[in-house]
Amino acid sequence: MTDIKITTERLRQLEEAEAKLEALEAAGVDNWDGYDDALEPIRQKNARRETADAILSEIMDILADGIEEPAGHGCGYGVRDGAAERIIQLLLTDKRIDLKVMP
């Protein structure tokens, strides 16, 4: 996973949003009609991301098949910073790629 930097203000906003969601769910909003429907686009986006991650993992396995790891077994291979994320974004946004999400 790539380390990222965010501002203190953005972190505060995310913490407030998380606290708000937890309070709403504690009050039962997750039982309201339409709650699951409202979250469906997020679930689909997450499922597409998981599919893209799995495809990238398979690509890396194919590319590295039979190659000795430079620092020894289990150490992995060097890739440019952000390369994996750029590939994931390509998989998620390229209109030529249709990531079917398995049920």
What are the tens digits of pLDDT across the range 5-59? 999 999 999 999 999 999 999 999 989 999 999 999 999 889 888 888 888 888 8
User: Closest Cα partner for 55 from 89, 16, 7?
Assistant: 89
Claim: this prediction has a pTM higher than 0.75: no
pLDDT at 23: 96
pLDDT at 59: 81
| Rama region for 52: left / alpha / beta (φ>0; ψ in -120 to 50; rest) | alpha
85, amino acid identity? E
Cβ-Cβ contacts under 8 Å for 75 (sequence gap 6 or more): 69
pLDDT at 16: 98
User: What are the residue boundaries of the structural domains of the chain, listed by start?
Assistant: 8-93
What are the tens digits of pLDDT across the range 55-100? 888 887 777 666 666 666 666 666 666 777 888 888 888 777 776 6
Radius of gyration of the chain, Cα coordinates, nearest whole angstrom: 19
